[in-house]
Amino acid sequence: MKSFGIEFVPMELFWRTTYYTIQAEHLGYDSIWITDHFNNRNVYVSLAVIANYTDRIKLGPGVTNPYLIHPVMTAQSVASLNEVAPGRVICGIGAGDRTTLEMVGIPMKAPLRTVREAVEIIRRQIAREKGSYEGKLFKTSAGARFNFKMNEPIPIYIGAQGPKMLQLAGALGDGALINASHPDDIKRAVKLIAKGAEKAGRDPKEVDIAAYTSFSIAENEKKARKPAVPVVAYIVAGSPPFILEKHGIPVEKAEKIRNDLANRNWGEAFGAVDRNMIDTFAVCGSPDQCTEKIATLFKTGITHFVTGSPLGPNVRESIKLFGVEVLPHFKELP
């Protein structure tokens, strides 16, 4: 079973994000993920509005992090959202973005343990488990339970990029959100997720594995590439040297892009983004090209494909292009 999702960054007014989500639901997308950054609109306010205007599509944070939001609050938020959209809520959680966390003076310490304990607490809270939780980082007392009932579990997806976090996603997650776009990176990630699942005594098929990609579609390749450039510039700037080297991207070039971005030299930074960088860090092109690339990604073992920012030069048109010209190649539409 192949699923398709879409990610929105709530930089836009609430009604715009909601408009695009309704459009995605009409076209047959299966999931919508809203990013959780303190400098954008609140993820759960956005999701609650969206839940009111949709009936079928699954929805949740993609992804929240346990450094800024305590896991009991994440559990409370997704459980409350589930009352508005019963059975449709999903919860993406990851370690977050180091740079963003540092802006508010929070160091990203022990990310694996932090995410593991957070997932355990969210599950316990939703299940209203009795007794206390004694983690190394988080503790909850026996009385820290919801005063309201939940009728169903909420699938938890772990956002991951590094080898250990990918294995944790396989060991612990109902799903995994692979933060990559290139088939080689995704293939490697799928193997690590399976390894993590097997080590934990699980069948890897229990894990819904999503490629959470940077995506851009337009009627032709040239138009699709343009909006991908700024997003790819940031990905290149934030990528570890081994990833860059693996894809033939000179580390010095990435370093220069990072400095230009830091100094707000947008023209220099974006001008340095080349075709190889876009092909490495984004799924981008005409509907036919995107269909071919997505088919290749499904061959790696993923079960879910998420179109992330920038989506395309005109978001409404890009969602339509994807829904009308790409989705029918992979699934029967409602």
Residues that bind other proteins (CB under 8 A): 13, 15-16, 18-19, 22-23, 26, 53-54, 314-316
Give pairs for 137-142: CB < 8 Å, separation 24+: 137/110, 137/113, 138/66, 138/70, 138/71, 140/72
Amino acid at 168: L
CB 54 → other proteins: shortest distance, Å? 7
230 vs 301 by CB, closer to other proteins: 230
Q: Tell me the Cα Rg of the chain.
A: 19
CB 14 → other proteins: shortest distance, Å? 8
- Cα separation of 257 and 4, whole Å? 32
Per-residue CA distances from 37 to 100, 280, 306 (Å) = 8, 25, 19
CB 78 → other proteins: shortest distance, Å? 23
Cβ neighbours for 165, distance < 8 A, ≥ 6 positions apart: 94, 95, 111, 112, 115, 158, 159
Per-residue CA distances from 3 to 193, 239, 281, 304 (Å) = 18, 27, 21, 4
86 vs 271 by CB, closer to other proteins: 86
230 vs 313 by CB, closer to other proteins: 313
- Cα separation of 282 and 7, whole Å? 14
Strand-pairing partners, residue 60, are: 33
CB 13 → other proteins: shortest distance, Å? 4
Beta strands 208-217; 283-285: pairing state: parallel
Determine the distance from the C-alpha atom of residue 139 to the mean position of all C-alpha atoms in its chain, rounded to a whole number: 27
19 vs 146 by CB, closer to other proteins: 19
CB 327 → other proteins: shortest distance, Å? 17
CB 322 → other proteins: shortest distance, Å? 16
46 vs 239 by CB, closer to other proteins: 46
202 vs 320 by CB, closer to other proteins: 320
> Measured at the alpha carbon of residue 254, what is the angle toward residues 252 and 256, in degrees to the nearest 5?
70
CB 124 → other proteins: shortest distance, Å? 36
CB 316 → other proteins: shortest distance, Å? 6
56 vs 109 by CB, closer to other proteins: 56
13 vs 127 by CB, closer to other proteins: 13
Any idea which residue has 């190889």 for tokens?
Answer: 276
Would you call 234 helix, strand, or coil by DSSP?
helix
42 vs 100 by CB, closer to other proteins: 42
CB 304 → other proteins: shortest distance, Å? 25
For residue 64, the 8-state DSSP code is: B
- Cα separation of 196 and 203, whole Å? 10
